Amino acid sequence: DVVLTQTPVSLSVTLGDQASISCRSSQSLEYSDGYTYLEWYLQKPGQSPQLLIYGVSNRFSGVPDRFIGSGSGTDFTLKISRVEPEDLGVYYCFQATHDPNTFGAGTKLELK
């Protein structure tokens, strides 16, 4: 199975700071069709997860442009510029390139 390693496990930030989360895969996530099925989700406290980024760098409908996904192959990053209170929660990366699909273990973003 593909293992997604997220770092850091937790991240303490001040509102307005930038935050960066890494997701490293044990195998390349580029599919044979050339697409990379790497997504990012945010689970706010007490809520269902919500899609932020798909295809490495495409923001989902309604996601603010302070969320920026990047990377290729096995190395991916989610950057959040100017963290706001509604950004707090647990971030997960997810790959749907390989079967079985897998999630990273999560990164908790909290206030300092």
| Of 29, 36, 40, 41, the one binding other proteins by CB under 8 A | 41
Q: Which is nearer to other proteins, 2 or 13 (CB)?
A: 2
| Binding of other proteins by 76 (CB under 8 A) | no
d(CA 23, CA 53): 13
| Of 92, 109, 110, 111, the one binding other proteins by CB under 8 A | 92
Number of residues that bind other proteins (CB under 8 A): 20
Question: In the block, which residue shows the tokens 């442009």?
Answer: 65
| Of 35, 82, 101, 110, the one binding other proteins by CB under 8 A | 101
| Of 49, 66, 68, 77, the one binding other proteins by CB under 8 A | 49
* Rounded alpha-carbon distances, angstroms, from residue 23 to 3, 77, 97: 10, 6, 15
| Binding of other proteins by 60 (CB under 8 A) | yes
Q: Are 94 and 37 in contact (CB under 8 A)?
A: no
Beta strands 10-13 and 38-43 are unpaired
* Rounded alpha-carbon distances, angstroms, from residue 18 to 39, 63, 81: 20, 16, 4
Interface contacts to other proteins, rule CB under 8 A: 41, 43, 48-51, 54, 60, 90, 92, 94, 96, 99-106
